[in-house]
Chains A and B, each alone.
Chain A
Amino acid sequence: GAGVSQTPSNKVTEKGKYVELRCDPISGHTALYWYRQSLGQGPEFLIYFQGTGAADDSGLPNDRFFAVRPEGSVSTLKIQRTERGDSAVYLCASSSNRADTQYFGPGTRLTVL
């Protein structure tokens, strides 16, 4: 079956601009996660959704970052007033329940010039 998909695969933007990154989880997966992977590092947790609600957003670095999942399926990560330090690969993962393995998408590479 189809895996987790993310769009766009690459996004180049200018400092100060607003960006949206989209994640389509595996069909039927109720849990969805966003991670950020900087160059040479492992993925770092940003936020976790169970259904439509953000169950844990403790990893969001500041209030410029926000994520939604209005219908409990697709999720959008929104970054306002982008900074060069936001450049990274943003990974999305989904799982069928709280205890199950997380399956990752290919990521969106964000470059802020």
Chain B
Amino acid sequence: AQSVTQLGSHVSVSEGALVLLRCNYSSSVPPYLFWYVQYPNQGLQLLLKYTSAATLVKGINGFEAEFKKSETSFHLTKPSAHMSDAAEYFCAVKSGGYQKVTFGTGTKLQVIP
């Protein structure tokens, strides 16, 4: 079985401040982990993915995430928030032979000018 927990359904940061979106996963086998971003009325866009190579993964738009097996976490960070980062972010897990991706409930990021 696989699952994802995103802590905080809404996060607000000031423009230029650090962005930290939390994700914890559960998987019985080594997982693939993903972060997707969804802008209003648009589909999901892949930000980055972890596939058992480097534990620190860099993605698009300055985002990165670190896989920590001991903490079963895959938190998303960005050093300096931009207004255009306001969107909903989904963490997701895919385990071993399972093809279905299990998504978290999402975190809406608000960037305050």
Contacts and interface: CB of A to CB of B under 8 A. Distances in A.
A101 B99 CA distance: 10
A42 B106 contact: yes
Interface string A74-100: 000000000000000001010000110
A55 B99 contact: yes
A44 B102 CA distance: 7
Contacts of B46: 101, 103
A31 B99 contact: yes
Contacts of B51: 99
A42 B49 CA distance: 17
B104 interface: yes
Contact of A45 (B4, B36, B90, B100): B100
B51, B101, B102, B103 interface centre (most CB from chain A within 10 Å)? B101
Contact of A44 (B42, B44, B103): B103
Contacts of A55: 99
A23 B40 CA distance: 20
Interface string A32-74: 0101000011111100101000011011000000000000000
Contact of B101 (A58, A98, A102): A102
A4 B105 CA distance: 23
Closest 8 CB pairs of A and B: A42-B103, A45-B100, A104-B44, A106-B43, A104-B43, A48-B99, A43-B103, A42-B105
Interface of A: 4, 31, 33, 35, 40-45, 48, 50, 55-56, 58-59, 91, 93, 98-99, 101-107
B106 A41 contact: yes
Contacts of B36: 104
B102 A45 contact: yes
A41 B36 CA distance: 14
Contacts of A58: 100
A43 B101 CA distance: 9
B105 to A, nearest CB: 5
Given A43-B44, A91-B44, A106-B43, A101 B49 contact: yes
